Chains A and B, each alone.
Chain A
Amino acid sequence: MIVMRAADKTMTCAEFQDALPELFESQVDLSGHEHLKTCENCAALVRDLEYIASQARLLLPIQDPSPAVWENIQQAIRQGGSSGPAAPAPRK
């Protein structure tokens, strides 16, 4: 947990951005960070990075593999017998 310090107010942009990876991993609400109250540039950066991470969490699997994948799996299983295949079949 990162505690806000009075020194946060006097952080430069470089210092703040250097600290960002750890700040993101902490549970602190960055919107209350002293540096962001006076620096729109860093505030926009934080908003963007949070937005990217939040959008990434929403990405869903939407594409299916081609039917050849299952055909190859079946073929490999047949060739491998009941004990299971030793290696995948080559791509068709």
Chain B
Amino acid sequence: MSLTAQKIRNSRPLGVHPHGKIGMERFVLMNAGPTQPRPANQHLRRNPPIAGEQEAITKAQNGDGRAFETLYAMHKRRVYSLCLRMLGNVAEAEDLTQEAFLQLYRKIGTFRGDSAFSTWLHRLAVNVVLMHLRRKGLPQVSLEETLEPSQDDGPRKDIGARDLTLSGSIDRVTLERAIENLPPGYRLVFVLHDVEGYEHNEIAEMLDCSIGNSKSQLHKARMKLRDLLKTGQRKEQIA
């Protein structure tokens, strides 16, 4: 079974840094580029057409405030959830949701319909988060450095006793909590790839790292999640 998620589009490399309530690791840096999305096909599962959206877009592009409010109501949850998962911090997620929609207000006239509106908006929101992380950044550290293997997050190579298996046992809340507890660098790549469906080439462009590093970071994120989830299971069993 392939782990490849669905495609979303376009890129705008930015800078990133340690952050959020979990923020303790340093990671990523980048620069900026254009934002118009390329056409996508597989985004439809995650970004299905919304009734009335096209009409609201057209009206909002012509300055209709109520239509913009309609667009906000349609997309606020998705944009906020994206920000929250990337940042792991409610206050900052709300700030950046606000910033993303203000950017939408300024830029909606440039939306040409080459991709789904939601794909375009979510990419805009990702860029807002990444820019925020870059601005927050103190000493910037190459993503490459954070990808060096360590004993903590490297794959387990021992052939020891059989361990608990996760399959079928993880609920959404538990998984969300584990993602929240990932180191920020891992969390970014995991959320972008496995949750949001970006491809490695898109993530590499956004985070200014190699495709190989994106793959490696994702693998380590999944390994770390597995550890976190298993640790939680063991604690539950003991309790």
Q: How many residues of chain A have a CB within 8 Å of chain B? A: 54
Among B4, B68, B98, B166, the residue within 8 A (CB) of A25 is: B4
Our count of residue pairs bridging A and B at CB distance below 8 angstroms stands at 153
B175 cross-chain contacts in A, Cβ below 8 A: 52, 55-56, 59
CB-based contact A85/B106 at 8 Å? yes
Report chain B residues within 8 Å CB of A52: 166, 170, 175, 194, 222, 225-226, 229
Q: Which residues of B contact A31 (CB under 8 A)?
A: 1
Contact A69 B105 (CB under 8 A): no
Residues of B within 8 A of A51 (CB): 166-168, 170
Give CA–CA (A39, B162) in the complex, Å.
Answer: 10
Whole-angstrom distance between the alpha carbons of A69 and B156 in the complex? 44
Which chain B residues (194-213) contact chain A, with CB distance < 8 Å? 194-195, 197, 200
Which chain A residues lie closer than 8 Å to B2 at the CB level?
A: 24, 26-27
B98 touches A73 (CB 8 A): yes
Q: Is A13 an interface residue (CB 8 A)?
A: yes
Q: Bound state CA distance, A20 and B80, in angstroms?
A: 33
Interface contact B3-A24, CB-CB below 8 Å? yes
Whether B82 sits at the interface, judged by CB under 8 Å, is yes
Is A8's CB within 8 Å of the partner chain B? no
On whether the beta carbons of A20 and B84 are closer than 8 Å, the reply is: no
Docked-complex contact A70 and B72, CB < 8 angstroms: yes
Q: Which residue of A is nearest B161, CB measured?
A: A41
Q: Which residues of A contact B91 (CB under 8 A)?
A: 91
* Nearest neighbor of A85 in chain B, beta-carbon distance: B102
Find out whether the CB atom of A13 lies under 8 angstroms from the CB atom of B157.
yes
Query: Is B165's CB under 8 angstroms from A61's CB?
Result: no
B179 nearest CB neighbor, chain A only: A56
> Is B215 a contact of A56 with CB atoms below 8 Å?
no
Residues of A within 8 A of B10 (CB): none
Q: Do A25 and B163 have beta carbons less than 8 Å apart?
A: no
Cβ–Cβ contact B167 & A47, under 8 A:
yes
CB pair B101–A73 under 8 Å, yes or no, is yes
Which 3 pairs, one residue from A and one from B, show the smallest C-beta to C-beta distance? A61-B81, A17-B155, A56-B194
New contact pairs (10) apart from A24-B219, A69-B97, CB-CB < 8 Å: A25-B3, A41-B163, A52-B222, A56-B190, A57-B194, A59-B175, A63-B84, A65-B80, A72-B98, A77-B102
Point out residues on B near A: beta carbons under 8 Å.
1-6, 63, 65, 68-69, 72, 76-78, 80-82, 84, 91, 93-95, 97-99, 101-102, 105-106, 155-160, 162-163, 165-168, 170, 172, 175-176, 179, 190, 194-195, 197, 200, 215-216, 218-219, 222-223, 225-226, 229
